[in-house]
A and B are shown apart, each in its own frame.
Chain A
């Protein structure tokens, strides 16, 4: 039917039609994207047991767990799903941001392992190398990452005992000696260091600077180097997730410097901006938790409790909201905007919702929430242990990748343009 607008509306249409390109506000997904979703679910059915849920960076504990994770990683690599968004020349599929988002959502919902600990390789090491690396670095380091090999597993060495939120104050020092750099110092909270073959390292190369942000450089460090020592750290319920890493005259070839010496900070900022999408996976996980809790309530009869109903409804709203916020960031990136504060906004919000949801879930499970998350096979475990996993992990999640409050600082400065505090 042709549009018939009132005269005033007509005039304004005429003006704006000239300015605006035809687009359709659309929350739906294309046929091709839905097909991709189905393909992922098919993969899940074929390769994962419905009795084990690998959510929220759960990497298991044993070598057996790790071997299984690597086997899935390999299979994902065969489909090129580990490097979905990478350009084709580096072994990726060059898919849209929206399609990557679909993958992350599904990974979160189904708990697909093999994508998280080694994730630094696919998420920020690889993409950063594409931007700042030499041809030789790209040829050497990108293929094993894309292949999901053991040699493509990376850890990230940013934090130090005295440099956390204030990352630019880091002190681990790399000194140029001939064709080598000699590294001394300590990193801490290094996820995956006990599994990784390589470390993406931020170190100081010049102490004599006016601003601490200057004089930082990025390096590629072989974890098997002489003088490098990995010491496991356990979290408060005994899980081994991160480590401390000591450097005692560790020598690496000078060609393992990434980009320009002393200009590492801006490269680091770019790398940090690749660390986004956390909220997308987590909203998938929380959707799953919520569905499992609803089923649990149906089976236990607590679904008839008005308080339980109200809280389930509130969480539905929160998880849907978080997922939509994540979609907004993806959509902005897709149309070419530089996404600066949005991932921080979403991460802070995710921390909050996950914290509340895991506590609600524990309340729902009652006595069953007492079971240790490292014993997911116990016969007292309910909901595959995903609630306990979240309950104990959430405090780590809120700190990892920049704390909730430092994310808020970023949103304040770049989102609301408030003066620095």
Chain B
């Protein structure tokens, strides 16, 4: 056990922190969020040039072979600096391509992400407003050399600028052919294809969310990710990985909010003394710090599991479950500890809290992850009942 970072990990942490500090101060964040697409393409280009989008790809696809912990560290820094960018949905899709894509698909798409910064987005949730695969209603019907997709996807991030979507559909018509559970299939879809309509959703996070409607959109069979009817596993993997990455981002944000709040309460005086000298204030801050410290280690233990190719589902889910609670708590309590000014747009703390709901949604809600953990607990034979080998 050694919780220190490796030098590569530490390098990524320090260099990205400096980079975002310089390139993405909070005034810039406000401007970027106000743009139609919700981010600044110039900043995105710079991130791509630094190798962020291909960080964990093998060299042959233009990547730099980074590990999952490095990726989590990068997310942490993005969270700290509130970086508005399509990085997260792009990486969600890229990781799925890496794991489930065919050789041809990887060769075709990954270099574009790593080198040209083509962005991707995941079109998964529908009218239920949840990520559970059981809620998928959109159908793909076999037609010619592939399928015709029809249905509506909701809250697709940065969809308007995406180069490709991953779209989940029911392919039940093929179930008799012995295809897997729910018959969900994941398709790679070009947003420019005929029948795709994209409409922006006005979100508090200003994070380029869209409703994407598919009307008889034809997708060739070669654009199926993984195999027909086996999409539920892919979605499950995406949720597990992105839960940890999103939790890392939320950790970065939560830590930043705590720092803002600690500094503010040390500076502001009432009753002739700093707010931070009141015990009621102190104990709130201490409790938040404890949870944030704990979140950090849940996140990095989970990331370490992926880096070791031995992910632990309950730890991954615990990281997101904790992140959902902590990010919200530190934003709400931090705002409270700022007094009225905390509630104004002038203060940066609001920029963080504007993301709370979106971050809770991305990578899986608390209920979703509680159920993952409960299933794991139910399956496990407790240690005290195990017979020694």
A25, A29, A303, A348: the one contacting B378 at CB < 8 Å is A303
B3 touches A328 (CB 8 A): yes
Is B202 engaged at the interface, CB distance under 8 Å to the other chain? no
Residue B279 CB within 8 A of the other chain: yes
Cβ B279 vs Cβ A409 within 8 A: yes
**Contact stretch, chosen from A75-83, A188-196, A289-297:** A289-297
A367 proximity list for chain B (CB < 8 A): none
Identify B294's interface contact among A290, A349, A412, CB under 8 A. A349
Task: Decide: A418 and B7 in contact? CB cutoff 8 A.
Answer: no
What are the residues of chain A within 8 A of B380 when measuring CB–CB?
294
Are A411 and B3 touching (Cβ within 8 A)? no
Task: With A294-B382, A309-B370, A415-B286 as known contacts, state yes or no: A328 contacts B4, CB within 8 Å.
Answer: no
Q: Which residues of A contact B (CB under 8 A)?
A: 1, 3-6, 8-9, 12-13, 16-17, 20-29, 33, 38, 41-42, 45, 50, 98, 109-110, 288, 290-292, 294-295, 298, 303, 309-310, 312-314, 316-317, 320-322, 324-325, 327-328, 330-331, 335, 345, 348-349, 405, 408-409, 411-412, 415-416, 418-421
State whether A325 touches B314 (Cβ < 8 A).
no
Using Cβ atoms and an 8 Å threshold, which residues of chain B touch A4?
59, 64-65
Bound CA span A303–B322, Å: 22
- The residue of chain B having its C-beta at the shortest distance from the C-beta of A26 within the complex is B2
Which residues of B1-45 have CB atoms within 8 Å of chain A's CB atoms?
A: 1-12, 14-15
Complex Cα distance, B277 from A28, in Å, reads 40
CB pair B1–A26 under 8 Å, yes or no, is: yes
Asked if A320 contacts B315 (CB within 8 A), the reply is yes
Assembly CA distance A349 to B278 (angstroms): 21
B14 partner residues in chain A, CB cutoff 8 A: 12, 16
Give Cα A328 to B317, complex, Å.
20
28 residue pairs from A and B, CB less than 8 Å apart: A1-B58, A1-B59, A4-B64, A6-B50, A6-B51, A9-B64, A13-B11, A16-B11, A22-B6, A25-B3, A25-B300, A33-B1, A109-B384, A292-B384, A314-B370, A316-B314, A316-B318, A316-B377, A320-B318, A321-B297, A321-B298, A321-B322, A324-B301, A408-B283, A409-B279, A411-B290, A416-B286, A418-B265
A330, B2: Cα distance in complex, Å: 10
The binding surface of chain B is classed by DSSP as helix
Mostly helix, strand, loop or mixed at chain A's interface? helix
Can you name the residue of chain B whose Cβ is closest to the Cβ of A332? Answer: B3
CA distance A50 to B290 in the complex (A): 35
The CA-CA distance from A109 to B382 in the complex, in Å, is 11
Residues of A within 8 A of B116 (CB): none
Residues from chain B with a CB closer than 8 A to the CB of A409 are 279, 282
Instruction: Tell me the complex Cα distance, A322–B301, Å.
Output: 13
Distance to closest chain A CB from B195 (angstroms): 38
Contact status A20-B369, CB under 8 Å: no
In the complex, the answer to whether B370 meets A324 with C-beta atoms within 8 Å is no
Which residues of the other chain, A, contact B295 by a CB distance below 8 angstroms? 321
- A319 → chain B, closest Cβ, in Å? 10
Residues of A within 8 A of B51 (CB): 5-6, 8-9
User: Do A349 and B304 contact each other (CB < 8 Å), given the known contacts A309-B374, A313-B321?
Assistant: no
A27-B301, A324-B298, A408-B286 known; 10 new pairs, CB 8 Å cut-off, are A8-B49, A291-B384, A309-B370, A324-B294, A330-B1, A349-B290, A412-B279, A412-B285, A415-B289, A419-B266
Closest Cβ–Cβ distance, residue B64 to chain A (whole Å): 5
Contact B382 A20 (CB under 8 A): no
Q: How far is the CA of A109 from the CA of B279 in the complex (A)?
A: 35
Instruction: Name the residue of chain B whose CB is nearest to the CB of A38.
Output: B388
> Scoring B residues 261 to 294 as 1 if CB is less than 8 Å from chain A, else 0, what string do you get?
0100110000001101111001101110111011
A22 near B50 with CB under 8 A, answer no
Q: Are B277 and A24 in touch, CB under 8 angstroms?
A: no
A209 to chain B: closest CB distance in Å?
Answer: 26
In contact, B15 and A12 (Cβ under 8 angstroms):
yes
How many residue pairs link A and B with beta carbons under 8 A? The number is 213
Known: A25-B304, A42-B388. A291 touches B382 (CB 8 A): yes
What residue in chain A is nearest B11 (Cβ atoms)? A16
**Once the chains are docked, how many angstroms separate the CA of A268 from the CA of B336?**
39
Nearest-neighbour CB distance to chain A for B166, whole angstroms, equals 26
In angstroms, Cα B285 to Cα A23, docked, is 32
B371 close to A (CB within 8 Å): yes
- Is B340 in contact with chain A by the CB < 8 A criterion? no
Question: Are A412 and B3 interface neighbours, CB within 8 A?
Answer: no
Contact A13 B8 (CB under 8 A): yes
**B96: interface (CB < 8 Å):** no
Residues A416 and B59 in contact, CB atoms below 8 Å apart:
no
Q: A409-B282, A412-B283 are in contact. Are A313 and B374 (CB under 8 A)?
A: yes
User: For the complex, is B383 an interface residue (Cβ under 8 Å from A)?
Assistant: yes
> Of A8, A16, A25, which one neighbours B69 at CB under 8 angstroms?
A25
The minimal Cβ–Cβ distance linking A82 to chain B, given in whole angstroms, is 23
Query: Which of B2, B287, B321 has the most chain A CB atoms inside 10 A of its CB?
Result: B2
The reply to whether B304 and A27 form a contact with Cβ atoms under 8 Å apart is yes
- Bound-state Cα–Cα, A321 to B314, Å: 12
**Restricting to B293-312, which residues have a CB under 8 Å from any CB of A?**
293-295, 297-298, 300-301, 304-305, 308
Q: Which of B3, B283, B378 contacts A27 (CB 8 A)?
A: B3
- Residue of A whose beta carbon sits closest to that of B295: A321
Instruction: Give the 6 A-B residue pairs with the shortest CB-CB distance, closest first.
Output: A6-B51, A324-B297, A291-B382, A321-B294, A313-B373, A309-B374
With a CB–CB cut-off of 8 A, which chain A residues contact B6?
22-25
Chain B residue nearest to A297 in the complex (CB): B378
Chain A, Cβ-Cβ closest to B67 = A25
Least Cβ–Cβ distance between A235 and chain B, in angstroms: 27
Q: Please name all residues of chain A whose beta carbon is closer than 8 Å to the beta carbon of B315 when the two chains form the complex.
A: 320
| B367: interface (CB < 8 Å) | yes
Task: Decide: A325 near B297, CB < 8 A? Known: A25-B6, A295-B382.
Answer: yes
Interchain nearest-CB distance for B135 vs A (Å):
17
